[in-house]
Chain A
């Protein structure tokens, strides 16, 4: 499965400056592992050493936070967009 992975500004320097990269995998976890293979400088920034999601990182499959789907086991489909974003306070009006 080929998916587009969008990177936040602060991770782009570790990926050669790219704002988005095209990667392979059947699940979100596999896609993120492929990301670390393609850009070793990102190792440890999105996934922790034990392979779970970094606490201050949110990963979205299209519009949905994968923590509330099947986490890293969430299946991806052809043409899906995976976005990596730092956790920030919402508007919190």
Chain B
């Protein structure tokens, strides 16, 4: 293996592992792409590098610049890593109710945390970042929800890697957050084979919906609308915290230590496997389990852990 010149060169080229032992259908294989092996620990390292290098090419990032970004964790952590290596300052707008490990990781690479109300979830973080960015035009707001460099990281990296390693893929299942993964990977795969289905898994919106004053407070990531997300997806299904945690535990049974959103994606893949006759389902595991140990997801009483998960953003 070649020696990397710096840690950013280690982003991507992640491994795929067969977990078909967990498939409810003997004719459906389930494979997991493990993004937790990225140097910052998540798929968002790809996005962070893409956002920053795109801004550098466009000339909007000068040496020593300050970046601001809303994130419930992984994008902030990825950006903190990239910013530290490249010499930028980073402010992350983070909902108050994220796991303690996410904050600790941000501190490792020197990012500054600006807290947004937990009850407003990711929507609230986006709103606060937009406001702060408009008050501080000297800061650079990369805006992962609206920046095509986000899905491009997956169109140029994650998607080609999946097709190279699993050319027999019939279904791709991943979580829907900014929609960057689904848009980028989905578009690449469908260009190679239009019969490949793309399934989105989303967490229940839960309490954060209660904070909306009217429907126009709703939020659809701009990249989802601009890049034809509605036409691209074949299915969108909700997976609740209990299913997510149960399937996260099942993954550990076959040795895969992944975060709770991977359990949600696996629950979606299992739903898919029950509905099709045969196929090869690839799911994307956004991160490893390390950042969720404090939630007791693997060892705690399932009812208690589920209740706790409802209050913590894990997706």
**CB-CB contacts below 8 Å: A31-68 with B:** 45, 54-57, 60, 63-65, 67-68
In angstroms, Cα B208 to Cα A45, docked, is: 19
A71: min CB distance to chain B, Å: 10
A52, chain B: closest CB distance, angstroms: 12
A interface SS class: loop
Interface locus among A20-28, A72-80, A83-91: A83-91
B173 CB to closest chain A CB (Å) equals 13
Contacting pair B230 A67 (CB below 8 A): yes
Q: Does B176 contact A (CB under 8 A)?
A: yes
A8 at interface, CB cutoff 8 A? yes
| Stretch of B12-20, B71-79, B154-162 that contacts chain A | B71-79
Q: Are A63 and B238 CB-contacts (below 8 A) given A88-B208, A92-B145, A93-B287?
A: yes
A89 vs B212: C-alpha distance in the bound complex, in angstroms?
12
What is the CA–CA distance of A60 and B218 in the complex, to the nearest angstrom?
A: 16
What is the minimal beta-carbon distance from B269 to any residue of chain A, in angstroms?
14
Chain B interface size, as a band, is: 35 or more
Expressed in whole angstroms, the Cα–Cα distance for A9 and B206 within the complex equals 11
**What is the chain B residue whose CB lies nearest that of A64?**
B237
CA separation between A60 and B177, bound complex, in Å?
18
Closest chain B residue to A56 by CB distance? B218
Confirm or deny: B213 has a beta carbon within 8 angstroms of a beta carbon on chain A.
Answer: yes
Residue numbers in B under 8 Å from A45 (CB-CB): 215
Q: A67-B236, A85-B209, A86-B209 are in contact. Are A92 and B214 (CB under 8 A)?
A: no
- The answer to whether B215 and A89 touch across the interface, beta carbons within 8 angstroms, is no
Contact with A along B100-140 (1 / 0, CB 8 A): 00000000000000000000011100100000000000000
Q: Contacts of B122 on A, CB cut-off 8 Å?
A: 88-92
Is B281 positioned at the interface, with any CB of A under 8 Å from its CB? Answer: no
Known: A63-B238, A65-B236. A86 touches B205 (CB 8 A): yes
CB distance from A70 to the nearest CB of B (A): 12
The interface centre, meaning the residue of B44, B71, B212, B233 with most chain A CB atoms within 10 A of its CB, is B212
Whole-angstrom CA separation of A37 from B243 in the bound complex = 36
- When distances are taken between beta carbons in the complex, the residues of chain B under 8 Å from A63 are 237-239, 271
User: Bound state CA distance, A37 and B175, in angstroms?
Assistant: 36
Query: Which residues from 195 to 220 on chain B have a C-beta closer than 8 Å to any C-beta of chain A?
Result: 200, 202-203, 205, 208-210, 212-220
Q: Top 4 A-B pairs ranked by shortest CB distance? A: A91-B315, A56-B218, A92-B177, A65-B236
A8-B209, A67-B236, A86-B205 known, 7 other contacts, Cβ within 8 Å: A10-B213, A55-B218, A57-B218, A89-B121, A89-B122, A89-B126, A91-B315
